[in-house]
Amino acid sequence: MNVRNECIVLILVAVTAVAGDDKTPGEHAGGQKTFLACPIVRDTKTVPCWLTEYQGETYYLGIQVDQAAAFQPPQLLHQVLVEGTVKPGARICGGIVLDPVKISVMPELDYTCNTMLPAVDEYSVPFAPRGPGPNKAQPLAPLRFPTPAEPKPPFTVREFTLYYDFDGERAGRMAHVITDAMLYAKASHAKRVEIVGYRAAVRLSDGKALEEYPWIAQHRAEIMADTLREIGVPGSIISTSWKSDAENGSGMDASLKRRLTITVTPE
């Protein structure tokens, strides 16, 4: 079930309202592209390329590497929110390069997103640091972040911020920030740990607005509270809050609105 169907009546209002203040509909400044589309996987003789199509053009997102790589590929059967900047220069795997690029795999299933293209001689990725087989020696990076150093006094009120994928409940690549917050709370004998979850909207290149799930700020905050309790922060000092109204953002900075803050107040 597509949970967003219930709000279909709001679509036209949204499109009209957002498009109205867009001076250049369909294009952000600086060759920036923000759009929802199906990912496409293009096989090569080594590892696959990840592409997508938008308004008749093909864009290159990245290649399969490893979990520790900067680019984490999308998933077939899911649309992807692409937030990227066009990089001048040669195409890769037939696509205009978006770099930097941030992608968010949309949680809902979309069975139409299922395009796999075969390897052809025309496209190759000689720059791939790892092929489809085992690594040459060791993994690209450790699976875990190193244990941070014990925080030292003086202790002041400190805020930790985590950023999320669109509609994401867990900041998967920012676990080290959670560890930092926990260690700081413990070392400073915190009297208060305040968690605030936020929710965001992003303006797409076609002028439409895309909002996160209405419940996402609450979920982010509650999951973080559980997480901090599980790793040793006393539940009695944790307070949880969330802002259900979506903060608007556009361009590459829009992803910074999808966030959560942990404020640690020392004893």
| Ranges within 93-132 binding other proteins (CB under 8 A) | 105-110, 112-113, 116, 132
| Shortest reach from residue 155's CB to other proteins, in Å | 21
- Is 186 one of the binding residues for other proteins (CB under 8 A)? no
CB nearer to other proteins: pick between 237 and 252? 237
Q: Name residues whose C-beta falls within 8 Å of residue 36's C-beta, 6 or more positions apart in sequence.
A: 79, 80, 81, 82, 106, 204, 210
CB nearer to other proteins: pick between 86 and 246? 246
Residues numbered 142 to 181 that lie near other proteins (CB under 8 A) are 143-145, 169-175, 178-179
CB nearer to other proteins: pick between 100 and 139? 139
| Best CA proximity match to 200, nearest among 259, 139, 141, 151 | 259
Output b/e per residue, 189-222; b: 16+ Cβ within 10 A: ebeebbbbbbbbbbbbbbbbbbbbbeebbbbbbb
| Shortest reach from residue 66's CB to other proteins, in Å | 8
Using DSSP's 3-state secondary structure scheme, residue 84 falls into strand
Piece of the chain touching other proteins by CB under 8 A; list 21-29, 94-102, 241-249, 256-264: 241-249
Output b/e per residue, 21-32; b: 16+ Cβ within 10 A: ebeeeebbeeeb
The residue from 89, 134, 153, 154 that contacts other proteins (CB under 8 A) is: 134
Piece of the chain touching other proteins by CB under 8 A; list 23-31, 94-102, 150-158, 214-222: 214-222
| Best CA proximity match to 125, nearest among 164, 165, 95 | 95
Number of residues that bind other proteins (CB under 8 A): 94
Q: What sign for the dihedral angle of Cα 25, 28, 30, 32?
A: negative
| Best CA proximity match to 210, nearest among 68, 53, 36, 73 | 36
| Best CA proximity match to 86, nearest among 19, 23, 27 | 27
- Is 141 one of the binding residues for other proteins (CB under 8 A)? no
Residues numbered 10 to 39 that lie near other proteins (CB under 8 A) are 10-11, 13-15, 17-18, 36-38
| Shortest reach from residue 83's CB to other proteins, in Å | 15
The residue from 20, 121, 127, 136 that contacts other proteins (CB under 8 A) is: 136
CB nearer to other proteins: pick between 67 and 91? 67
- Is 57 one of the binding residues for other proteins (CB under 8 A)? no
- Is 138 one of the binding residues for other proteins (CB under 8 A)? yes
CB 201 within 8 A of CB 209: yes
CB 259 within 8 A of CB 162: yes
Strand order, beta sheet including 209-211: 209-211, 200-203, 247-249
CB nearer to other proteins: pick between 96 and 113? 113
The residue from 19, 78, 158, 163 that contacts other proteins (CB under 8 A) is: 78
For the chain, the first-to-last Cα distance in angstroms comes to 48
- Is 76 one of the binding residues for other proteins (CB under 8 A)? yes
- Is 55 one of the binding residues for other proteins (CB under 8 A)? no
